[in-house]
Amino acid sequence: MADKQTAFQELVLRAKAGDKDVFSEIYETHLTPVYRYCYIRLGNREEAEDTVQETFLKAYLALQRFEATRDNFLPYLFTVARNLLINKGKKKHPDLEPGEVMDREDGGMNTSSYAEEKELSQILREAMEILTDDEREIVAQRYFGERTYAEIAATFDKREDAVRQHIARAMKKMRKHLIQYD
């Protein structure tokens, strides 16, 4: 693990020195979990892609000020993405609370598999709507952002066992809601 962390720190140092190719390697490494998180929150492919691009642009611009290690860079990206999502929600819906789920728009594809995926995504978003803001954030980061309990605990300044309890309660609520689709 120390070798991976040292290698990652080397990449960050090279990126800080202006090597854009190295930052693209950092981008590729962290893209999938950040995209999944943004997509589940927005429900729109284009908006999720835009938010991911903004997230990485902000990270790149802040790289000189950031002491990135392999262990703290992904939580940093999630924090940036979360703040962007909150700001997007405020711009689109100034009357909504920051934690409320953002509006969804159609992605424009018409295949039947896309329709099924869209329907399942909608059902999942409805199930997530019944969660509290904290539960929704924690579940999204755990299952769509592929973050560990420890990473989530650090982000939310909670104990790891408290994060596990939040997730267990949230999953129980969601199962109860989803039973109607069985």
Count CB-CB contacts under 10 A for residue 17. 8
Of 8-22, 57-71, 95-109, which gets the smallest average pLDDT? 95-109
d(CA 67, CA 121): 36
Q: What mean pLDDT comes out for the span 143-154?
A: 83
Q: Which residues lie below 8 Å from residue 85, measured CB to CB, with a gap of 6+?
A: 38, 41, 42, 51, 102
Cβ 9 vs Cβ 69: under 8 Å: yes
d(CA 58, CA 75): 14
* Model confidence pTM above 0.85: no
- Give me the amino acid identity at 38: C
- Domains observed in the chain: 1-98 (1.10.1740.10), 110-182 (1.10.10.10)
What band does 182 get if pLDDT is binned at 50, 70 and 90?
low
What band does 127 get if pLDDT is binned at 50, 70 and 90?
confident
d(CA 89, CA 1): 38
- Give me the amino acid identity at 93: H
* Structure confidence at residue 147 (pLDDT): 82
